Amino acid sequence: MPNPRPMCCPRMRIFSLPLKWPTNAMVSARVHAILKCLGLGMVAILAQATLWWISEPTYLFSDFYKAYYAAGRVLLTEGPRQTWYVTEPGVLAFVNLPILGYLFVPLAMFEPSQAAWVYLGLGVAGVGATLLLIAPYFDLGPSKVAVLAFLFAVNGPLVNSLREGNTSHFVICFWRLRWFCSYPGGLLRQGYCLGCARS
């Protein structure tokens, strides 16, 4: 009687597969891409430091303090009202739709400096989300995403919006989010995104 054929363990089959080692061309291309990303990152950091140093205004988070934080603080302490006096803090500086002021009520619970840095963190996250929304839409590879991130980093108006504590960088995020709602039945979601961007 012939001996039964020994059963091969699935784990042994995995290790028995031939390994495909990377060629010199593959390694060279990967090293070139890594060096390119590192170079762009260093230049972006220097550009960010320079733009944050020389950009106007000299008073950091000026728009946030005189407009958004002030409006949220009034709503937090006095509640919603139909009329606002022009002598109140933040009224003349707050040029967005009044309902947008309610978004800053949670930040008004912090001290002004703490709220400003939290808002900056949210702004940086919004810029990162914009980058992540653009990359798959245009099917960008890693090297092109690195170049796009570099262009974001050296964009003067974008740095100015973050530095002043403005809302322009969130507008870009909502505008790009609209792209992913362009499917049948997504018109209402597109309207939400456009409404948030225009407010």
Please indicate, yes or no, if residue 4 is contained in any of the structural domains. Answer: no
Residue 85 has what DSSP assignment?
-
CB atoms near residue 158 (< 10 Å): 19
Is the pLDDT at 112 greater than 90? The verdict is yes
Between 83-92, 95-104, 176-185, the lowest mean confidence (pLDDT) is in 83-92
Number of structural domains in the chain: 1
| Residue 110 confidence (pLDDT) above 70 | yes
Report CA torsion sign: 48, 50, 56, 60: positive
How much is the average pLDDT of 77-86?
68
d(CA 141, CA 22): 20
Per DSSP, 167 falls in state: S
- The token pair at 24 is 């010199």
Asked, for residue 191, whether it belongs to a domain, the answer is yes
Give the per-residue pLDDT at 12.
43
Residue 92 lies in a domain: yes
Asked whether residue 12 is assigned to any structural domain, the reply reads no
Both tokens of residue 8?
């091969």
Among 85, 97, 128, 122, smallest CA distance to 195 is for 97
Residue 20 confidence class, pLDDT cut points 50, 70, 90: low
Most confident of 84-93, 104-113, 146-155: 104-113
> Whole-number mean pLDDT of the chain?
76
Is 7 a domain residue? no
pLDDT at site 168: 85
Q: How far apart are CA 185 and CA 143, in angstroms?
A: 35
Which of 10-14, 87-91, 139-143 has the weakest average pLDDT? 10-14
User: Per residue in 145-192, pLDDT tens?
Assistant: 888 888 888 888 888 889 988 888 888 887 777 776 666 666 666 666
Higher per-residue confidence, 8 vs 147:
147
**Within a domain: 26:** no
Question: Is position 24 within any domain?
Answer: no
Q: Which domain holds residue 118?
A: 33-198
* Structural domain contains residue 190: yes
Q: What is the pLDDT of residue 109?
A: 93
